[in-house]
Amino acid sequence: MHALTTRFSMTGCAAALAACAMFTAPPAVAADLLQIYRDAKANDAVYAGARATVEAGRERLPQGRALILPTVNLAGNSTYTDGDVRAGVPNAVLLPRQFTSNTWTVTLNQPLFRMQNWAQYQQAEFQVAQAEAQFGQAGQDLIVRTAQAYFDVLASQDSLAFIVAQKAAIAEQLAQAKRNFEVGTATITDTHDAQARFDLSTSQEIAAQNDLEIKQRVLQQLIGSVPDGLAKLRTNLQLVPPQPAVMETWVETAQKENFTVKVQESALEIASREVERSRAGHYPTLDLVGTMGTASVTGTTNANTATGSDIRSATIGLQLSLPIFAGGATSSRVRETLALQEKARSDLENSRRQSALAARQSFLGVTNGMAQVRALEQAVLSSETALASNKLGYEVGVRINIDVLNAQQQVFSTRRDMSRARYDTIMNGLKLKAAAGNLTEADLEQVNSLLGGG
């Protein structure tokens, strides 16, 4: 069997390996996953938008706090009056009068009892927490999107390389079929079979090139440019199962720590405070109000008479306001917010179920993916041995050309499936941690350590 395999490697796959090397040769500088992620973190428009959103959300707290703090306003006024005054007798002389009035007032208002303002301040705290959770979700999404785009490019490169290698092997088989037909040891059917497979592989190569171009553009959208090359997975990598290796542990963590769950928890608290705000519309309000100001008036009644006044005042007191009837608007608002609170509660329950489902799917994706990778690794060895046997059988006349072509296709299809299974397993590992709410750059560093192939 070793001789058969050696013969196949030196003859049947010589051109295939040469063609494959054209697509798998290491670039001068290959960017790894960690570098691509950092570029995406600096250039991705979606993440930049999320960063701006959380910065805006943090301002809700000082805005809410301002509702329970005092407000101070300064107002000033200056007027000039020019007119004539006639004495109350017939034919009296008009007396000119000019006056200038200057006033300024400082007003202090300190809310003492305003349930609406207090509820809105509490809302602001949860709105900030919600914004932080949304930003945390955006950070995890960036890691997942970057890794997905990275491995999609690698998978597309692998697929193209396998198709090119298969095409080269089919081309050699086609040439051999033509030679055998010319010397009379094979029929024209062998040539037609090989030609049909060659034409099909040409079509598949075009489709694979198009797919690779699309995957590269998706990566470009994240980082703003197309890298010269990407580091590939090591051929001898060992995939690690999730720790802890108990699915329900991951599910419980996801239901508590998932960022989507945290967002909905904050949304429920915000809705509850909105109910309190609506009910506060029935409550009285009490404010401490203080004013201080001056008013000065100067003027003349005729050319020789001047007059004026200067008044200073300061007041402090309590202002009570009691709502009596608002046309039913306040009660309607309460009913509305209660319904919205119930919706928020249902959304929270749905997010917990969704996070639990995502954790289960990803956990199974990792564990079953590892088993699939091991099975495909064995399948590659078996299909290569079968191909070598079919080539030898074709040469001695116990196999026909279509058998060899089918065996070749099986080899390259199995290699492609094994490559895809590796990428999918790694991605499911990242998605599992994202579902549990603990995906960080350190996890990406662990995945990056699996790279290094040319």
pLDDT digits (tens, 9 = 90+) for 360-412: 999 999 999 999 999 999 999 999 999 899 888 878 877 877 888 888 889 99
Q: Indicate yes or no: pTM above 0.85.
A: no
Separation of alpha carbons 141 and 138, rounded Å: 5
Separation of alpha carbons 277 and 283, rounded Å: 10
pLDDT confidence of 82, banded at 50, 70, 90?
A: confident
For position 303, what pLDDT does the model report? 54
* Pair 289, 300: CB distance under 8 Å: no
**What does the pLDDT average to over 331-343?**
96
* Pair 443, 433: CB distance under 8 Å: yes
Is the pLDDT at 228 greater than 90, yes or no?
A: no
3-state class (DSSP) for residue 25: coil
Spatial neighbors of 199 by CB under 8 A, at least 6 apart, are none
Is the pLDDT at 238 greater than 90, yes or no?
A: no
Spatial neighbors of 296 by CB under 8 A, at least 6 apart, are 101, 102, 103, 308, 309, 310, 311
Spatial neighbors of 97 by CB under 8 A, at least 6 apart, are 81, 82, 83, 84, 85, 299, 300, 301
pLDDT confidence of 310, banded at 50, 70, 90?
A: confident
For position 187, what pLDDT does the model report? 78
Separation of alpha carbons 67 and 120, rounded Å: 8
DSSP H or E run through 54 = helix 45-58
For position 90, what pLDDT does the model report? 60
Separation of alpha carbons 246 and 338, rounded Å: 39
For position 84, what pLDDT does the model report? 62
Could you say which DSSP state residue 411 is in?
H
For position 96, what pLDDT does the model report? 58
For position 2, what pLDDT does the model report? 34
**What does the pLDDT average to over 207-213?**
95
Separation of alpha carbons 186 and 403, rounded Å: 14
Is the pLDDT at 1 greater than 70, yes or no?
A: no
Q: What confidence tens digit (pLDDT) does each residue in 37-67 have?
A: 999 999 999 999 999 999 999 999 999 999 9
Q: What confidence tens digit (pLDDT) does each residue in 86-143 have?
A: 555 565 555 556 778 899 999 999 999 999 999 999 999 999 999 999 999 999 999 9
Annotated domain spans of the chain = 2-79+96-453
Is the pLDDT at 305 greater than 80, yes or no?
A: no
pLDDT confidence of 359, banded at 50, 70, 90?
A: very high
CATH number of this structure's domain 2-79+96-453: 1.20.1600.10
For position 172, what pLDDT does the model report? 85
3-state secondary structure 116-169: HHHHHHHHHHHHHHHHHHHHHHHHHHHHHHHHHHHHHHHHHHHHHHHHHHHHHH
Q: Which of 177-186, 210-219, 232-241 has the lowest mean pLDDT?
A: 177-186
Query: What's the CA angle centered on 84, arms 83 and 89, to 5 degrees?
Result: 155
Residue 311, beta-bridge partner list: 295
For position 52, what pLDDT does the model report? 97
Q: What is the DSSP string of 292-324?
A: EEEEEEEEESSSS-EEEEEEEEEEEEEEEE---
Separation of alpha carbons 25 and 44, rounded Å: 29
Of residues 306 and 413, more confidence is placed in: 413
Spatial neighbors of 47 by CB under 8 A, at least 6 apart, are 40, 41, 138, 139, 142
Separation of alpha carbons 113 and 283, rounded Å: 9
* Largest CA-CA distance found in the chain, in angstroms, rounded: 145
Mean pLDDT across the chain, nearest whole number? 87
Instruction: Compute CA 202 distance to the chain's CA centroid, rounded to the nearest angstrom.
Output: 38
Q: What confidence tens digit (pLDDT) does each residue in 159-181 have?
A: 999 999 888 888 888 888 888 78
3-state class (DSSP) for residue 78: strand
For position 43, what pLDDT does the model report? 93
Q: What confidence tens digit (pLDDT) does each residue in 10-37 have?
A: 334 444 444 444 344 444 468 899 999 9
